[in-house]
Amino acid sequence: MKRMLSGIKPTGQLHLGNYIGALRHFVENQEDYEMFAFIANLHCITVMQDPEELRNNLRDCVALYLACGLDPKKATIFLQTDVKAHAQLGFIACCHTYLGELNRMTQFKDKQAKGETNLSGGLYTYPSLMAADILLYDADYVPVGEDQKQHVELTRDLAERFNHRYGELFKVPEPLVSKVGARIMSLSDPSKKMSKSDDNDKGCIYLLDDLKVARKKVMSAVTDSLAQVKYDPQNQPGISNLMQIYSSLDNNRSFEEIEKEFEGKGYGDFKRAVADKVCATLEEIQNRYHTILESNLIEETLKDGAHKANAIADAKLKQVQQAIGMEIIQK
């Protein structure tokens, strides 16, 4: 069975972009692949976190993985810091990454260009840690949103570099970026990605948003004055974004079908239909989330996941350290 791995940072509440761009693919693929889904709690401290908030977000993140349909019997679900090999291979990967490569990473460049001050060293080097996350497990595929594709491409380069230098060590992974929904945009500014770190709450639908609030966010989404439901990201970015959401939550229906359904109808009708789909999805997730919080499934899942992940990661780390010549005692 081919292996798939991905992670999400618990830097805030998970949102619809995370669900459509990443999480739903973890769930869809857990039947056909050996799935590793982890919570990237090292990555999240690359920007300052409030400890109390982070603890809550971590718990919510695991609960939401489960509530969205990840099954701990099928998928290995774990916390990054429960597997120490991530940090260790992360440093080794960092030592094999050129500054020129890190300088080209658009996520860091964007933050720098925005004039954000006090950017940390961890934020700069985190693509190397991400590479380690993936390479430790010899993952074949990495399902991610569009913004992470560049990091998976760096991972491929690093894998090839290691293999070339030390002999075959790592599988070269492939990013899986879906055609629709890989970049859900902010509802209040469709030129920007829907994001946890957005200052404007109106543009982002959180999976745990009150249903009334979520509905209101969809109904007040920025559109245009062309009065036609048409997939045209250039000229109608707001409507096209809503179409991506609608399609993703409705069995990936084609844009032509959606255009036909709303031919001659107003934006109000379309937005109501999108809001219905969003609220139905959220309601189902939230119902399961509340049941999960009351159970001890979170602890059990993480314990079991860490056990499985450690066995694989430790063996790989040892193989790497031996190949590099960093170990002298055969343990």
> Quick check: 9 binds ligand LTN (CB under 6 A)?
yes
CB of residue 15 to ligand ATP, shortest distance in Å? 7
CB of residue 135 to ligand ATP, shortest distance in Å? 17
Q: Is 179 a catalytic residue?
A: no
CB of residue 79 to ligand LTN, shortest distance in Å? 12
Distance CA 22, CA 240 (A): 19
DSSP letter for 15, please: B
User: Binding pattern to ligand LTN, positions 15-54, x when CB under 6 A?
Assistant: -------------------------x--x-----------
Tell me which of 3, 4, 13, 21 binds ligand ATP, using CB under 6 A.
Answer: 21
Q: Is 260 a catalytic residue?
A: no
Residue 281 neighbours by CB under 8 Å, 6+ apart: 19, 249
Residue 133 interaction partner, one of ligand LTN, ligand ATP, none, beta carbon < 5-8 Å per kind: ligand LTN
Q: How far apart are the first and last CA of the chain?
A: 30
Q: Is 277 a catalytic residue?
A: no
Nearer to ligand LTN, 61 or 273 (CB): 61
Dihedral angle over CA of 140, 144, 149, 150, nearest 10: -100
Distance CA 30, CA 63 (A): 17
Judged by CB under 6 A, the chain residues 273 through 302 that form the site for ligand ATP are none
DSSP letter for 176, please: E
Using alpha carbons, select from 195, 206, 208, 211 the residue that is nearest to residue 292. 208
Residue 165: other Cβ atoms inside 10 A: 11
Using alpha carbons, select from 170, 169, 160 the residue that is nearest to residue 97. 160
The first and second tokens of residue 38, run together, are 């982890």
Nearer to ligand LTN, 61 or 274 (CB): 61
Stretch that binds ligand ATP, among 119-127, 139-147, 216-224, 229-237 (CB under 6 A): 139-147
Query: Interface with ligand ATP by CB under 6 A: which residues?
Result: 8-9, 11, 17-18, 20-22, 144-145, 147-148, 182-184, 193-197
Q: Which residues are catalytic?
A: 111, 193, 196
